[in-house]
Structure 1
Amino acid sequence: MNKTDISNVHRTNKIYWDENGNDFLAAIVLPAYGCNTLTETELNLFGDVAGKKLLDIGCGNGESLKYHGNNKANELWGIDISKNQLEKAAQCLSASGYAAKLICGAMEDECGLPLDYFDYIYSIYGIGWTTDLQGTFNRVASYLKKDGLFIFSWSHHIHMCVALEEGKAIFKNSYFNETWSERNLDGKEILLCSRKISTYVNALAKAGFVIEQLIEQTNDETLQLTGELSDWTKKSQMVPLTAIFKARKL
């Protein structure tokens, strides 16, 4: 992707987050990892964060940072491409009595974050917005201490390939297609690139991570639902909507 294309992606997506934000998306702030997925309460991927330093990539309105503040994290940091989102995050955290270092910038760019510093770096439905996955993972690795954890969730690529028709999951797009495309989210245009699970796995390995867990399953409550269900719920009973990665820096 050339500089012009990257600039267009950043501009388009920044407009969306400046104007909309994730105040209404409770499914993508901790303890949730995504719609109909297992939660942090069930998975315990972070463990005890008391006294630890954490960085949230794509921190949005700050609710996930507040979650860790409530669990006695020592330092809260966040980065987001949207200044408006960061203002919401600052208000959210201040109202709860927490201070955070919030940085406005793209995750794939050099933003002045300290090296070999963080115990945890995480992203709840943020990583997939990057225009440079390998570069982003390389930066994450540089910010983490040795043995530090990188935890993130994003829309599962198989979910983006499958549509529900007459109660059946039908492939509408190739799983191998990783091109950028325009999409509509709440009536607004965004630009995203779907990536195969193997793309994430290989990029993590190249950046010096070992994957400890990959979670794809829909939560049991959703799987057990019967009767008149929404297409979204039916689909989540057939294919994963979200992939959750837990990786450790070697």
Structure 2
Amino acid sequence: MKSDVLLANQKSWNQAASRFYGRNPLPEYGPLAPKEDELNLLGDVAGRKVLEIGCGSGHSLLYMDQRQAAELWGLDLSSAQIESATKLLANCQAPVHLFESPMEHDPGLPHGYFDLVYSIFALGWTVDLHQTLSQVHRYLKPGGVFVFSWEHPLHNRFTQQEGNLVLTKSYLEEGAYKHEAWPETAIMQQFRVSTYLNACIQSGFVIEQVVEDVSLSDEDIEKHAKGWYNAEKAAAVPTTLIIKCRKAQA
């Protein structure tokens, strides 16, 4: 059941929160992926009301504050993450509103209010993609922008074996799975690129940009030399999918 998965994921994130503190926040969209400095998907956020889905330790919201966003809003499933974000953002210039909540649920956020909603490497944790996207659509003003990133659907379909990449699971298979690099019991969701795109369209969004590029700078290669994501694999299979879409004008 979805509620059981949410509880398991909440427990896992409360246990793992310190290990992921400040990992890959904006301007990063994901490991070995182009950064916001290069992509400029968010535009000028000064004076904008922003909401982060899966705000984690709050470092991406801090990035927004440093760029003069008018209001900082965030939600996260994990109480440990919300506690960390509350401490990190205590001295922000902009007012901060944080909610402990699954992304599928509306914890009382204003509708038709936000200029920008974003989610950095978090959307694959949803237990209901369509419900999550529908919530985001409700939160945004007409013309508002939604940008999200997640592990590219092809990445965990391939494994490295004796210097070769081997397809070990069908790309066409979708649904819940336990990530082999995740030590705690936690359930993520596998979707094809087309599923993400179609779900956005069905929720009322207009797709503006899709990014599957890889960044293999010396800094990126060194940072991820021994991790789940590495340059050798990323040279053939992208690590990160980034999608920018917009709520249509009324």
Partner of 2:118: 122
- How far apart in 1 are the matches of 2:141 and 2:92? 28
Q: Which consecutive unaligned segments of at least 5 residues does structure 1 have?
A: none
* Shift in Å, 1:118: 0.2
Q: Which consecutive unaligned segments of at least 5 residues does structure 2 have?
A: none
* Shift in Å, 1:127: 1.0
Q: Work out whether 1:215 is the aligned partner of 2:208.
A: no
When residues 136 and 224 of structure 1 are mapped into structure 2, their CA distance, relative to the original with a 3 A threshold, is closer
When residues 24 and 192 of structure 1 are mapped into structure 2, their CA distance, relative to the original with a 3 A threshold, is closer
**TM-score if structure 2 supplies the norm length?**
0.91
- How far apart in 1 are the matches of 2:245 and 2:52? 15
After TM superposition, the structure 1 stretch with the greater mean CA deviation from structure 2, 165-174 or 67-76, is: 165-174
- How far apart in 1 are the matches of 2:204 and 2:45? 23
1:175 aligned counterpart, secondary structure:
coil
Partner of 1:158: 154
* Shift in Å, 1:165: 1.6
Aligned residues: 244
Of 231, 234, 241, the match for 1:233: 231
Provide, for residues 66-124 of structure 1, a one-character-per-residue CA deviation record: whole Å limited to 9, x for no partner.
Answer: 00000000000001111111010010011455531001111111211111000000000
After TM superposition, the structure 1 stretch with the greater mean CA deviation from structure 2, 167-176 or 92-101, is: 92-101
> Any conservation in 1 of the 2:75–2:98 contact (CA below 8 Å)?
yes
When residues 105 and 138 of structure 1 are mapped into structure 2, their CA distance, relative to the original with a 3 A threshold, is same
When residues 47 and 203 of structure 1 are mapped into structure 2, their CA distance, relative to the original with a 3 A threshold, is same
> Any conservation in 2 of the 1:36–1:222 contact (CA below 8 Å)?
no
Aligned CA RMSD, in angstroms, stands at 2.1
* Shift in Å, 1:181: 2.1
* Shift in Å, 1:187: 2.2
How many percent identity over aligned positions? 39
Provide, for residues 39-91 of structure 1, a one-character-per-residue CA deviation record: whole Å limited to 9, x for no partner.
Answer: 01111111110000000000000000000000000000001111111010010
Partner of 1:131: 127
Q: Work out whether 1:85 is the aligned partner of 2:87.
A: no
When residues 87 and 73 of structure 1 are mapped into structure 2, their CA distance, relative to the original with a 3 A threshold, is same
1:28 aligned counterpart, secondary structure:
coil
When residues 184 and 173 of structure 1 are mapped into structure 2, their CA distance, relative to the original with a 3 A threshold, is closer
- How far apart in 1 are the matches of 2:138 and 2:79? 24
When residues 223 and 59 of structure 1 are mapped into structure 2, their CA distance, relative to the original with a 3 A threshold, is closer
The AA in structure 2 aligned to 1:55 is L
- How far apart in 2 are the matches of 1:232 and 1:162? 13
The AA in structure 2 aligned to 1:239 is V
- How far apart in 2 are the matches of 1:111 and 1:24? 24
> Any conservation in 1 of the 2:22–2:59 contact (CA below 8 Å)?
no
* Shift in Å, 1:196: 0.4
Of 99, 106, 111, the match for 1:103: 99
1:146 aligned counterpart, secondary structure:
strand
> Any conservation in 1 of the 2:25–2:120 contact (CA below 8 Å)?
yes
The AA in structure 1 aligned to 2:143 is D
